[in-house]
Structure 1
Amino acid sequence: MPEFALLAADRADGRENSQAILTVDLDALADNWRLLKGRARGAECAAVVKADAYGIGLRPAAKKLLAAGCKTFFVAHLAEAEFLRDIAPEARIFALNGLPPGSSALFARKNLCPVLGSLPEMEEWAAFCRAENRKYDAAVHIDTGMNRLGLVKPDFPRALDLLDAFTPALIMTHFVSAEDASAPRNRAQIERFEEACGLFPPMRASLCNSSGMFLEEAPVFDLTRPGYALYGGNPTPGSDNPMNPVVSLEAVILQVRDIRAGEAAGYNARWTAPSRRRLATIGLGYADGFPRSASCGDIGADVFAGGAWCPVVGRISMDLSIIDISDAASLKRGDRVEVLGDHISVDDLGRWSGTIGYEILTDLGRRHKRVYVGGD
């Protein structure tokens, strides 16, 4: 976290300045993990905490999940795995992005598990284990349709030859469209993964991500890997969200003004007042994770304040945004508006911005005053 954010976070009350307040409910995070653990039907429920725990902060998130009973974590990069190891000395930690060239000794020294998704990775890991005369753990990643990372069927014979050199701790794959329960590729991927599991020696298996855990047809195998749902994202788009919201974001009103019909607001005058309007400028922009694509347009974002929906008008700029508070005219300088919270979910803001809630979460800026609820 930048020094400025650290200094601001240390203040007793950030309401005297122009910073937005990002509140992270760690109790809700733990409750979400417990809900997902219940859906795992006896399988182990891990936690995906890559990208700084989807933007909410890896250290507080991991500590809360550990206290709730989580014992296995997934990150993307080796650097994330190293950082997490200092927080969770006894946890099982998998690095999803595989084995960077020359990194085997570091993985072994830190007791971290690379997720091997190519023959060159497997060969390097096997050679390291043979040179050390020790079978270190690693996971095997099978590609069942993503065409991103993972072994494909022609790789299997060579991969099977290499397994003797190390301990295969997990075989896994990743759904392409688990959020779409009607997608026929879900069944195809399940069948391909079951076939691969039958060809490889017996080991623990993992298929389900957040949305996969809500697919009735998806077997849980031995371990589930929820990520987005832990942080309040909806794993069942189109249906009610079964998860508890974890983040809320409030921005402060810096200035209020009345404008006449025909006056423009924001860069390039992309919005013109259709009638006399009351506008408020808030201290939140795209540098804070409020996407520029949420500017007024075909969809555009709203905030909620003063009991009313207040649309964004004009283009969102780096540090500031303009909202129309004509229906909440009692709002004044220093009042706060809800950008995420009880009325607006990360999925809502993602949809209004032409993106997904995952991007909203992981782009949450570091200039906010961060408040953690339910931490130690």
Structure 2
Amino acid sequence: MPTLKTRERLSEVRYEIRGELARRARELEAQGRELIKLNIGNPGAFGFRAPEHLQRAIADHIHDTDPYTHQQGLPEAREAIAAHHRDRGTPNASPERVFIGNGVSELIDISLRALLNHGDEVLLPSPDYPLWSAATILNDGRPVYYRCAAEHGFLPDPDEIEALVSPRTRALVLINPNNPTGAVYPRALLERLVAVAAKHRLLLMVDEIYDGVLYDGARFEPLAPLAGDLPCLSFGGLSKVHRACGWRVGWAMLSGDPTACGDFHHAMDLLGALRLCANVPGQFAIQAALDGTDTIGPLCAPGGRLYEARRAVIESCAASEHLQLVAPAGALYAFPGVTGAAAEGFDDHAFALELLETEDVLIVPGSSFNVPYRNHFRVTLLPEPDQLREVFRRIDRVLQRRADAARARGDAHAAVA
């Protein structure tokens, strides 16, 4: 039989978060190995639960969840999202401009499919969350990356972004708070980015799924109020702030001048209708989530589990001669860099595999997030603080072996010379 061919552009798509290393981890678990898996920001896998009032909202409406709903989502859920955005100052926030999807992931794909023609370009951060790159590629677009360098706190330079704009550029994507770096964008920076988008008539697309996950007084600034009449698509959901990943509930709010957004709105609506509707039970938790008690704030405050986990990572990196870290100001991740002798000839994939095989720890190589360097890796902050300290002891053991080997090579070369 001839080989069944697949889409050629899939060869350009990377998603190492659930890729080759994760498959090897499953093989090791099948052999009886106990692994510490830090590759996915999945709160439920680390003992977190969705808040009880969200669970109750679904249970109380389970008898209403059998039929399809409107392709954009339950009217009451969309009204709650619109009200939430009005409270933030989002212009033209109305239920008719809200789209509910099976997680933000589905809505990213739908929105790029609605926007892009073959060869159109999307400005993406580097590092990015790789779904953005994959969705751009699979919808026949071209990712164009702007730097978010560690030496600048992983914040972008608006002038560098503007220099990348071409006649084919259609959108500017922001991830704030950022995955994988934890950077939180200040208002002045966002205003400059809005100005770039306005000058070049770009759609702003902002992934704000971690908007409530903030540390040490970091302030989240929603983009849509700053964008004003400029078309802006703001993504949010229940998976991170409300620890309900498995419910697959995300939303997108389309703001800006309704006339300028009209065709794009109709395209989003059409694509949403083709998949009928999003998961209905989870939509009944949206109003409870947005109007209910803040349950993420205490976890991110001193003494809270996420705060203390972050502290464990920061202190572990500070104590290591092999690691440097820009402390995450938000989100659920840290993005350490390897430095010194251990960084000599460093390959992040080889390191991640060695760490998995020898120390039973699964991480994500930094180059998986579409950066040109190979000396970073991502860990999630979801484990207990003591477990994270143990993880970094294991990481340091591997890095120490690599540093010792690099020094031995240097000594050998010096002796020959």
- Which of the pair has more CA radius of gyration? 1
Which TM-score applies when normalising by structure 1?
0.31
Which TM-score applies when normalising by structure 2?
0.29
Higher relative strand content = 1
Higher relative helix content = 2
